[in-house]
Chains A and B, each alone.
Chain A
Amino acid sequence: MKHNFIDRYADLDSPLHQLDARTKLVGFTALIISVLAIRPGSTFVFFAFFFLTAIFMGISQVPLGYILGRSLVLLPFVLLASLARPWRGGIDFAFLSALIMRSVLSLIILVLLTNTTRFAEMMRGLRKLGCPQILTLNLGFLYRYVFVLTEEVLRMRQARDCRSVGRAPAKVELKILGSMLGTLLVRSFERAERLYQAMLSRGYSGDFPVYGSRHFGWRDLVFIVALVPFVLIAFRA
């Protein structure tokens, strides 16, 4: 069983993949902030950003269907959240369309970021940008073990399904669920302990060693410079 729902295409080797993680982190974050700054009604600017992301999608070699699928999945939630805005007299179409475009753009950019950067490199980039080690370390473990845990849940469910005939009454089902959750908690706890022991036995002394990887190169410069006009028009418009 393999799970790679976050970064399925991060192992490709396109020009975007080859950029330094820091470049992409800074660049894409800047883009998202700019997208949020675009005023409703400035259709031209939105158009420019869609154009830019389209170019990125082309360069990245990540399948178009995948990116759009991932981005649109979250759209219903965004629309639901927009209901929180007090509607004063009728539906404000300019606002609504801006909202949709902003969220789609941001999601596309996020999907692009996570699918052109390996998680490990992203963590390394975050750390080099000054993010505290404790945070990147925990995110790293989460990424590493969320899959192991999911598998454990699936296996436990399979084991239960293999042994039970038909559906049990809801009350019994709930009871089983409770004990499964308990087991999972204990297992994770013990695994964490063993993990720490494995780190200790390989010489861990409080500092997670990092092996240097990609460097800031001319591609990174080109990328950043290319983004500047877009950030500017987003804030000017």
Chain B
Amino acid sequence: MTEYAVRITRLSYSYPDGVRALEAVDLDVRVGERVAIVGPSGAGKSTLLLHLNGVLSGSGMVRIMGQALEGSDLREVRKHVGLVFQDPHDQLFCPTVFDDVAFGPLSLGVPQGEVSQRVDRALHEVGLDLSMRLRSSHHLSLGECKRVAIATVLAMEPEILALDEPSSNLDPRNRRHLIEVIGNLPVTLLLATHDLEMVLALCSRAVVMDRGRVWADGETRRLFSDRKLMEEHGLEVPLSLRTAVVG
């Protein structure tokens, strides 16, 4: 068993139009660790996550469960990583919710009987009613879409979960529920988000990104209480930590 679920070394990436989105990023994540990636808009968080299953590939090295992300093994390595995109419309391409959630398990060769169970479980985990199964994705509200997108990945039961803004467009109750569910999953987690309270609830470690670089990497509470660091990178000390200091 490898010790590191994700090892990223000196990863740089420019978009085709020349925007330099990642600059020599280093990030190691141990198996079972839950790491948050925070930073202002345009910091490169989404770009970094897209490297985790080879959707994008820059210069430098990305290893998943000890295997390099390249060439013929790509398909195998991808099975380990469940990636939820920032825009749920990019993730839901099937005619119905059921088809979408079942797509991953079916592609992985899971038998039909089990697929149906997995779909039900995943929908339940994101707090969606089973009557949703036959709805069309384009008839859903944005928050529902987002939850279905998360379910599509949960149904694949990946070892590494990479979530891009999972709590955006969720109402408070569903956000809470999602935090609980993710907290109980036995997975390695990478979470890119602006929702710092969610990070505090889920991740003991955080990484601050800005302009394509990693500026800080360490214990969440320590980083988030560092007012200078936070404000320098377009963030702010979360409310719960501020009152803690005052009280």
Residues of A within 8 A of B (CB): 2-4, 11, 118-120, 123, 140-141, 143-144, 147-148, 191, 194-195, 197-205, 209-212
Contact = CB atoms under 8 A, between A and B. Distances in A.
Q: In this complex, which of B103, B115, B135 has the most chain A Cβ atoms within 10 angstroms of its Cβ?
A: B103
B161 to A, nearest CB: 12
Given A144-B137, A198-B93, A209 B78 contact: no
B55 A144 contact: no
A210 B106 CA distance: 8
Contacts of A143: 95
B55 A200 contact: yes
A198 B90 CA distance: 7
Interface of A is mostly: helix
Nearest to B91: A198
B174 to A, nearest CB: 20
B102 interface: yes
Contacts of A197: 50, 55, 90
A208 to B, nearest CB: 8
Interface of B is mostly: helix
A228 B138 CA distance: 38
Interface string B70-103: 0000010011010101010111111110110011
A119 B95 contact: yes
Interface of B: 50, 53-55, 75, 78-79, 81, 83, 85, 87, 89-96, 98-99, 102-104, 106-108, 112, 115-116, 134-139, 152-153, 156
Contacts of B108: 203
Contact of A119 (B90, B102, B135, B136): B136
Given A4-B139, A191-B90, A209-B106, A201 B96 contact: no
19 contacts: A3-B138, A4-B139, A11-B134, A11-B135, A118-B95, A120-B94, A120-B136, A141-B93, A143-B95, A144-B93, A144-B95, A191-B89, A197-B50, A203-B78, A203-B104, A203-B108, A204-B107, A209-B102, A211-B106
A203 B158 CA distance: 12
Nearest to B139: A2
A237 to B, nearest CB: 40
B78 A194 contact: no
A205 B156 contact: no
Contacts of B102: 209, 211
A212 B116 CA distance: 11
Nearest to A139: B95
Nearest to B98: A211
Nearest to B89: A148
A183 to B, nearest CB: 15
A197 B57 CA distance: 12
B113 to A, nearest CB: 11
Given A191-B90, A205-B75, A211-B106, A198 B85 contact: yes
Given A202-B107, A203-B107, 9 more contacts: A119-B95, A119-B136, A120-B95, A143-B95, A197-B50, A198-B90, A201-B53, A203-B75, A203-B78
